[in-house]
Amino acid sequence: MWLEAIISQEDLVQVMGEFLPVKILLDQDEEDEKEEKKDEPERSLLLHPATQVTLVPDQGVRVTCPAELTWSIAGMSPTMKLDELSVMIRPQVVEKNKGNVLELVIEVEEADFHSLPAFIDHTIVKALNAALATKNPAWNFTETLTRKVGLGTMLDPVEALKIEVQWGKTRIGGEVLGLVLSFKIGFVRND
């Protein structure tokens, strides 16, 4: 059995309108989220509301927006304004030990720093992408959607409906983004 969720271009614009502005904390890892380091200067990328949201077939979602980068250097944390930042968000299904996961890989494609020459822009983008490479928000849809649903006692010897996610796949076109999931349906019996 297959199930496909489809997000249209119009839906993506609406979702990004609700999601942005957002600050991406570049120094924090999962352990840091529990207890934030207060002694160290912050490295972060603040994405302002999108000026453009585009689906790029077979790649992902390109978001263009103004932004601010705070990057600690020698104990100081200057904030640099970006007139325009182009970010590619690549949804991909990855198989992990606990099942299939939908990861969002975030990569800066282009950055236009206010009053900086292009060669410096490229150097900063490289360092920024290295920091972003370790930040892939993920949803374990196998864990979320695999379920046993009790059917009560009226269907002896059938106790429950068993729904198991088998695999997932993304489909990215020019007008829609889709997530296709394959399920196996079965029953738990007591005989």
8 Å CB contact between 84 and 66: yes
Q: What is residue 122's predicted lDDT score, i.e. its pLDDT?
A: 80
Q: What is residue 78's predicted lDDT score, i.e. its pLDDT?
A: 82
Ordered by start, the domain boundaries in the chain are: 9-29+41-142, 144-189
Q: How many CB atoms lie within 10 A of CB 188?
A: 14
List, for residues 55-109, the tens digit of each pLDDT value: 999 999 999 999 999 987 666 668 888 889 999 999 999 999 889 999 999 999 9
Percentage of residues of the chain with pLDDT beyond 90: 71
Q: Using DSSP, state whether 124 is helix, strand or coil.
A: helix
Higher pLDDT, 124 or 133: 133
Tokens matching residue 124: 């900063």
The answer for residues whose C-beta is within 8 angstroms of residue 27's C-beta and 6 or more apart is: 37, 40, 42, 43, 44, 131
Q: Using DSSP, state whether 11 is helix, strand or coil.
A: helix
Higher pLDDT, 47 or 117: 47
Q: What is d(CA 39, CA 36) in angstroms, rounded to the nearest whole number?
A: 9
Asked if pLDDT for residue 39 goes beyond 70, the answer is no
Q: What is d(CA 6, CA 43) in angstroms, rounded to the nearest whole number?
A: 35
